[in-house]
Amino acid sequence: MKIEANNVRVSYGSEQVLKGITMSIKKNTVTAFIGPSGCGKSTFLRCFNRMNDLIETCKVEGQIMIDESDIYHPKVNINELRKSVGMVFQKPNPFPKSIFENVAYGLRINGVTNKKYIEEKVEWAIKQAALWEEVKDKLKKSAFALSGGQQQRLCIARALAVEPSILLMDEPASALDPISTTKIEELIYNLKASYTIIIVTHNMQQATRTSDKTAFFYMGDLIEYDDTRTLFTNPKKQKTQNYITGRFG
Amino acid sequence: MEETLEKPEKPVSRKKPKMTFESKGRTVYYQLQDKIFKYFALAATSLGLIVLVLLLYSVFSSGFDRLDWDFITSLPSKRAAKAGIYTAWTGTLWIMFLTTIIAFPIGVSAGIYLEEYSSRSRMSNLIEINIANLAGVPSIIYGLLGLEVFARFLNLGASVLTGSLTLALLILPIIIVSTREAIKTVPYTLREASFALGASKWQTIWNQVLPASVPGIITGVILAISRAIGETAPLIVIGALTYVPFAPTSPMDEFTVMPIQIFNWVSRPQKAFAENAAAAIIVLLSITFVMNAIAVYLRHRSQKKVKW
């Protein structure tokens, strides 16, 4: 197992938002987290790269193992962890720098100075994100000159450049138009061969199109976790049934 | 294709249409209110400008003839026609330079600490309120502090260094507050993106937060320094002299500055000294304008580096 979560509980101050989640995720699969707003799916996603640590009042209990090591162990270097667990956010958030520098940033903060190596790695990452043909002639231009969909693929390239093994995606297509969304979904499908991907989504079609397994969260609990096809065609719990048929959420 | 898109021309009606949307009742009142406020705002704006223009006119008309190279390079003198501002403007430049070197790193670091590192506690709230209050303390109080601490206790005397330290204290709150405001405008998503790539806190601040907030920080610093070079009261309190026969050559020298020189000349009864004062005001204003120009240039340059 690539990722194993064991009784993970998260609270903000006195409010508990995750009430003991246990699940395991296989290597090179796509897992979708679905559920109504405020169900805790994004919070759970942010446990895997410890982004929750940035919020002062947030407390995480339980255990998360990645490649069989406990990522909340006191000896874990959080920066090293985040290098191997990349993240793409809901709204494209490129740096106010050139397209090239956006992707090179992860390498530079790692102390890489070899210009040739950086250039190769940047090209590789942008190609991985299926963006190379669109930007190869304007790498020096501002990342903000790109369309929203291109910016999001640039953010994916930026995450890939530091060679993570896991990619977390927090509603990566919710701010994009349908064509850009399709491109991101194709990209997710292609990246599966090399990365373990977790995607939070509000779009159930997107979950069925992209994921192998789906987890349904409700009010801080993991209600159901199964193969995507099974979960959507033959859910075992009534709550899941209600949610996927659109009766609430 | 294009022909099919063209619509047949409609006959234009020449009849006056029925007025359904004319203003009536309250809307008349709202429109009037709109207009009144617009002209009031315009008047307020012009008032400020007119006063400034009048001031500039009066200063230039009485001081411009007095302004020549000798005036700038001469030492002060009891005879108005021979007196110059050499010691005053060199003193001002010294003060400007040292004050910046002292206040800039401390103020910006404090701003970064308060905004990025300190946790939201009662202590930090207290510090915050106090800094805001310090910005409003009358400058003469800073002069008294400088006199006691720097001039007497540290035995620095009425030196350039004492003056600079005092003025640095005076403008620190302004720099801290403007640094914080500039840092606050950097969106949180930018920090998140940097952290998610494994960047440390300092890497994130240095590579993302500071470049994006430099324009705001520089503006704040230059405004603060512009305020510092206009200050008279605290420097008089620490013992800056009105008559210094030499220009300062080290931080430990005695000094005078432009505002003190101007104050000194204005307070004399002779008309010739009033002309000297006007000429000195022109020079002081020029220094301020040059500073602002530098600020605009630096801001523009750093904005180009950050490619929003």
Q: Which pTM value belongs to this model?
A: 0.81
Report the residue from A51, A106, A144 with minimal CB separation from B308: A144
Instruction: List b or e across B156-185, with b for residues whose CB sees 16 or more CB atoms inside 10 angstroms.
Output: bebbbbbbbbbbbbbbbbbbbbbbbbbbee
Chain segment B284-300, per-residue pLDDT in tens? 988 888 888 888 888 88
Tell whether B197 is within 8 A of chain A (Cβ): yes
Structure tokens at B36: 């009144």
Report the residue from B187, B189, B199 with minimal CB separation from A109: B199
What is the average pLDDT across A226-242? 92
Which domains are assigned to chain A? 3-244 (3.40.50.300)
Q: If you count them, how many residues does chain A have? A: 249
Angle (deg, nearest 10), helices B86-112 and B258-266: 130
- Please provide the average confidence, as pLDDT, over all residues in chain B: 86
Provide the pairing of β-strand A213-218 with A30-34. Answer: parallel
Q: Contact A19/A221 with Cβ under 8 angstroms?
A: yes
H/E element holding A215?
strand A213-218
What is the average pLDDT across B196-204? 94
Q: Contact A30/A85 with Cβ under 8 angstroms?
A: no
Q: Which residues, in sequence order, are bridge partners of residue A8?
A: A21
Whether residue A42 is predicted with pLDDT greater than 80 in this model: the reply is: yes
Q: Specify the higher pLDDT residue, B87 or A102.
A: A102
- Collapsed DSSP state (helix, strand, coil) of residue A54: helix
Whether residue B122 is predicted with pLDDT greater than 50 in this model: the reply is: yes
Chain segment B109-121, per-residue pLDDT in tens? 999 999 988 877 7
Is the Cβ pair B203, A159 closer than 8 Å?
no
Report the residue from B119, B187, B199 with minimal CB separation from A56: B119
Confidence of residue B80 (pLDDT cuts 50, 70, 90): confident
Question: Closest chain B residue to A109 measured between Cα atoms?
Answer: B199
List chain B residues with CB under 8 Å of A96. Answer: 190, 211-212, 306-308
- Collapsed DSSP state (helix, strand, coil) of residue A7: strand
Question: How high is the pLDDT of residue B11?
Answer: 65
Tell whether A97 is within 8 A of chain B (Cβ): yes
Q: Contact A48/A215 with Cβ under 8 angstroms?
A: no
CA–CA separation, B261 and B244 (whole Å) = 10
Q: Contact A213/A226 with Cβ under 8 angstroms?
A: yes
Report the residue from A80, A87, A96 with minimal CB separation from B308: A96
List chain A residues with CB under 8 Å of B124. Answer: none
Tell whether B199 is within 8 A of chain A (Cβ): yes
Of the candidates A237, A242, A244, which has an alpha carbon nearest to the alpha carbon of residue A222?
A: A237
Q: Specify the higher pLDDT residue, B204 or B302.
A: B204
Is the Cβ pair A109, B207 closer than 8 Å?
yes
Is the Cβ pair A54, B190 closer than 8 Å?
no
Q: Could you tell me which residues come within 8 angstroms of residue A225 by beta carbon, excluding any fewer than 6 positions away?
A: A23, A213, A214, A215, A216, A231
Is the Cβ pair A89, B192 closer than 8 Å?
yes
Is the Cβ pair A109, B120 closer than 8 Å?
no
List chain B residues with CB under 8 Å of A97. Answer: 306-307
Tell whether B153 is within 8 A of chain A (Cβ): no
List chain A residues with CB under 8 Å of B198. Answer: 79-83, 106, 109-110, 162
Tell whether B53 is within 8 A of chain A (Cβ): no
Mutation for B interface: A93, A112, A171, most B CBs within 10 A: A93
Question: Closest chain B residue to A48 measured between Cα atoms?
Answer: B196
Q: What percent of chain B has pLDDT over 70?
A: 92
Q: What percent of chain B has pLDDT over 90?
A: 36
Is the Cβ pair B197, A54 closer than 8 Å?
no
Q: Could you tell me which residues come within 8 angstroms of residue A244 by beta carbon, excluding any fewer than 6 positions away?
A: A34, A204, A216, A231, A232, A235
Report the residue from B120, B195, B207 with minimal CB separation from A82: B195
Confidence of residue A207 (pLDDT cuts 50, 70, 90): very high
Is the Cβ pair A96, B307 closer than 8 Å?
yes
Tell whether A155 is within 8 A of chain B (Cβ): yes
List chain B residues with CB under 8 Å of A100. Answer: none
Whether residue A76 is predicted with pLDDT greater than 80 in this model: the reply is: yes
CA–CA separation, B235 and B142 (whole Å) = 9
Range scoring the smallest mean pLDDT among A14-28, A45-59, A108-122, B111-125: B111-125
Q: Could you tell me which residues come within 8 angstroms of residue B170 by beta carbon, excluding any fewer than 6 positions away?
A: B139, B142, B227, B228, B231, B234
Where in chain B does DSSP place strands (E)?
none
- Collapsed DSSP state (helix, strand, coil) of residue B288: helix
Q: Could you tell me which residues come within 8 angstroms of residue A249 by beta carbon, excluding any fewer than 6 positions away?
A: A35, A36, A243
Q: Contact A228/A214 with Cβ under 8 angstroms?
A: yes
Question: How high is the pLDDT of residue A193?
Answer: 92
Closest CA–CA distance from residue A239 to any residue of chain B (Å):
33
H/E element holding B290?
helix B271-305
Question: How high is the pLDDT of residue B307?
Answer: 62
Question: How high is the pLDDT of residue B1?
Answer: 44
List chain A residues with CB under 8 Å of B304. Answer: none
What ipTM was predicted for this assembly? 0.93
Of the candidates B196, B264, B283, which has an alpha carbon nearest to the alpha carbon of residue A90?
A: B196
Report the residue from B197, B211, B307 with minimal CB separation from A144: B307
Chain segment A161-191, per-residue pLDDT in tens? 999 999 999 999 988 888 889 989 999 999 9
Whether residue A201 is predicted with pLDDT greater than 80 in this model: the reply is: yes
Closest CA–CA distance from residue B101 to any residue of chain A (Å):
29
Question: How high is the pLDDT of residue A24?
Answer: 94
Is the Cβ pair A143, B198 closer than 8 Å?
no
Question: Closest chain B residue to A46 measured between Cα atoms?
Answer: B196
Closest CA–CA distance from residue A101 to any residue of chain B (Å):
11
Chain segment A134-166, per-residue pLDDT in tens? 999 999 999 999 999 999 999 999 999 999 999
